[in-house]
Chains A and B, each alone.
Chain A
Amino acid sequence: MTETKNTQMVEGLKPTASLFEERWDIFKRNHLAYFSFIFLMVLFIFAIIGKILTRWVVLFDPKLVRLPEKFLPPLTPFTSKIIPTEEAPMFNMYILGTDELGRDLFARMLEGTSVSLTVGFIAVSISIFLGILFGGTAGYYGKLRWGFLTIDTIIMRFVDIMLCFPTFFLILTVVALLPPSIYNIMIIIGLTSWMGTARFVRAEFLSLRELDYVTAARSQAIPEWRIILIHMVPNAIAPVLVSATIGVATAILTESSLSFLGFGVQPPDATWGNILSDGKQFIFDAPWITFIPGFSILFVVLAFNLCGEGMREAFNPKLKEGV
C-alpha cells in the first residue's frame, strides 16, 4: 500500500488534493459565500453558548420580568434602585434594551438563536430523511411492481399530490388544529418540504444505478441496504446538502411567519419570530424590539442562502480546479 503511494508520489499520479479539498478551495474563492460560512460558524458557537447561559448556567434569564424597567433602549446601564441587585442584567447593562415586560432583550435573543436554529435544522433533517427515503426507493426499486403500478409511479404520483397543496396554507391549517408546540412546527415544516429532495435523489439514483461501481458492488454480494447507504447515497448527497442549506433558511422564515400569525412557538419561550411579532405593537415607542430580531433573521437567512449558493457553485462538476 505504502509502496503504491510512494510510486504515485514519484510519478506525480497522486491527486494533489482530495475531492473535498478541491471543492473547498473553489468555495473559498467566492468571498461572499466564504464570509457567510464563517458568520454561520460564529453563530452556531453563539447559539450553543446562548443555550448554556440561558438554560443550564443561568447568567441571562430571558424570562425574568422587571416591570419598572420596561422599554429601555439598547445600551442602557442598569441603575434601578427598586430591583434587587441579584436580578440585574449581566455586565450591569441592557445591551439590546428591554421589552414591554422589562425582559432583557439580549437574553431573549440569545435563547431565540438556539431555538430558531434548532427549528431550521430539525425540520430540514426530517425533510432530507424523507426525501432520501422516498427518492432512493423510487430510484433504486422503481421497477418493482405492486399490483399493476410500479413503485416508482406510486411514489412519484404521491410527490405530485404533495406538490399540489399550497404549502404555507397546509402548514397553517395543521399547526392551527394541533396543540401549539415547537416540535409540531418542526415536524410539519419537515413533512411538507421533502418533495424537492425526493425528486433529485431519484434522478441521481436512476443514473447511479447503471454505473459500473454499483454493478461491481452487486457482484460481490454486498447487501442492498449497504449498496444504497454506503455506496450510492454519498454520491448523490452533494445537491441534497446544497438544498438543505437553503432549506434551513426557508424553515427559519416559515417559523417566523407562523409566529407572526400567532401559531409559532408560544411564549414564554422566545424565538426571533415571536420576539418580532410581539414587538410590532410597539414599533413606534420601542422600534428596537422589532428591528433587532428582524435584521437578525434577515442576516442569518441571507447567510444561509449565500452559503448554499456558494456550495452549489463549488459542487458543480463543470467547474474544475484552476479553470
Chain B
Amino acid sequence: MIQFVLKNIGQRLVLLFFISIISHAIVHLAPGEPSLVDPSNPRMKAEDIQRIRAAFHLDEPLHIQYVYWMKDLFTGNLKSFKDNQPVLKKIWDRFLNSLPLFIVGTLITWFLAFPIGIQAALKRGSMFDKIGTFLSYALISIPGFFLSYICIIFMVKTFNVPVIGMRTFGLENAGIMLRSMDRVWHWTLPSLMSAVAGVAILSRYVRSQMLEVINQDYIRTARAKGLPETTVIYRHGLRNALLPFITMFGLTIPGLIGGSVIFETIFAWPGMGRLGFEAILARDFPVILTLNFISAILVLIGTFISDILYAVVDPRIKF
C-alpha cells in the first residue's frame, strides 16, 4: 500500500514538472507582453518599459526565467506585474471567496443528481425518466451565460433582490439577519448556475450506473430473500453503483478555477476564475502561470485522492 502511494506521488510530481514547463513555455512564447498592454499611455517611456522588463527578468532566456519563476514561487517572493502584490496572497484571498461558492455548488449538484438519477433508473421509461433525460440534455446545451442572464432578470423582477456581487454595498451596519439573508441571495444564483451542468451530467451517469447494478444477479438474490425494496435498492444497489463516483468526486476539485471564469465574470464575484481573467487581460504572467500551476496541482490531488479512495473502498483492488 505504502509503496503504491509513494509511486503514485512520484509519478504525479514528474507530471507536474512537465506541466509547469509546458505552461511556462505557452505563456511566454505567445505574442503579447505586459509592456504592450498600454502602449498609448504617454507616461510609459521607453526607459520605463526597459526598467519593468529588467525588474521582471523578461530579457533573460526562457529557461532562466523559468528558474526565476520557480524560485520566487517557492520562496513566496513572486510578485504580480500589475500591482506588485505577492501572487500567493492574491490567489489565497480570491480562493477564500471562491471556496463557499464551490462548496455550495457541489452540494447542490450531488444532492440533486443522486435522487433524480436513482428515480429515473427505477422508473425507467416513465414520464419522469423521459422528461429528466430531455431536460438534462437541454441544460448541458444552453450557454451558461445566457441562462444566467435569464435567471438574473427573473430573480430581480420576481423577488426584487440584488444578485450581482458578493454583498449589497451599504449594508455593512445592518442587522445580522438582514446581512446574512443578503449573503444567501447573492450566493443562490452563482452556485445554482455552476451546479446546473453538473446536475445534468451527473444524474445521467447515476441513472446508467443504477440501471447496470439493478439488473445484476445479487439484486435478484436480495429480492428473493424477501428483503424490503428500500434495503435492496439503497443498501445492495446504491452502494455498488457508488463506486465510479469516487472518481467523479476527485475530478470536480479542479472546477474551482476553470469552470468558474464565466460565472464569476457575470456575477462580479471576486474569485479565482475572475482573477485569472483579469490577469489574462493585463498580461500578468506570474498570476496566469501560478493559477495554471495551482489548478494542475488540484487536478493531480483530485485524481490521487480518487485513486486511493478507490483502493480503500473496493475490496477487489489489491496491490
Contacts and interface: CB of A to CB of B under 8 A. Distances in A.
B30 A174 contact: yes
B245 interface: no
A297 B146 contact: yes
Nearest to A299: B141
A283 B153 CA distance: 9
Interface string A301-323: 11011100100000000000000
Contacts of B273: 169
Interface stretch (B180-188, B217-225, B291-299): B291-299
B145 A166 contact: no
Nearest to B255: A166
A280 B266 CA distance: 11
Interface string B292-310: 1001100110000000000
A34 B269 CA distance: 42
Task: Give chain B's interface secondary structure class.
Answer: helix
Contact of B27 (A177, A283, A305): A177
Contacts of B142: 294, 297-298, 301
B141 A302 contact: yes
Q: Give the residue among B145, B153, B259, B296 with the most A Cβ atoms within 10 A.
A: B145
Nearest to B204: A309
B280 A172 contact: yes
Nearest to B266: A260
A222 interface: no
B31 A179 contact: yes
Contacts of A170: 26, 292
B18 A161 contact: yes
Q: Give the residue among A166, A253, A276 with the most B Cβ atoms within 10 A.
A: A166
A60 B150 CA distance: 30
B32 interface: yes
Interface residues of A, number: 40
A79 interface: no
B292 A168 contact: no
B137 A172 contact: no
A257 B145 contact: yes
A83 interface: no
Given A172-B261, A294-B146, A164 B300 contact: yes
A315 B146 CA distance: 33
Q: Give the residue among B31, B146, B273 with the most A Cβ atoms within 10 A.
A: B146
A174 B26 contact: yes
B141 A257 contact: no
Contacts of B254: 166
B283 A305 contact: no
Contact of B283 (A166, A177, A302): A177
Contacts of A38: none
Nearest to B272: A169
Contact of B261 (A165, A168, A174, A305): A168
A277 B149 CA distance: 11
Nearest to A277: B145
Contacts of A165: 19, 23, 292, 295-296
Contacts of B27: 173, 177
Nearest to A256: B143
Contacts of B134: 32
A26 to B, nearest CB: 17
A160 interface: yes
A173 B137 contact: no
B257 A169 contact: yes
Given A170-B292, A172-B261, A306-B137, 13 more contacts: A32-B134, A166-B295, A168-B258, A169-B291, A169-B295, A173-B292, A174-B30, A177-B31, A177-B283, A178-B31, A256-B143, A290-B149, A294-B143
Interface of A: 32, 157, 160-161, 163-170, 172-174, 176-179, 249, 253, 256-257, 260-261, 273, 276-277, 280, 283, 290, 294, 297-298, 301-302, 304-306, 309
25 contacts: A160-B15, A161-B15, A161-B19, A163-B299, A165-B19, A165-B23, A165-B292, A166-B295, A167-B258, A169-B258, A169-B273, A172-B261, A172-B276, A177-B32, A177-B283, A178-B32, A257-B143, A273-B143, A280-B149, A297-B143, A297-B146, A298-B142, A301-B142, A301-B143, A304-B141
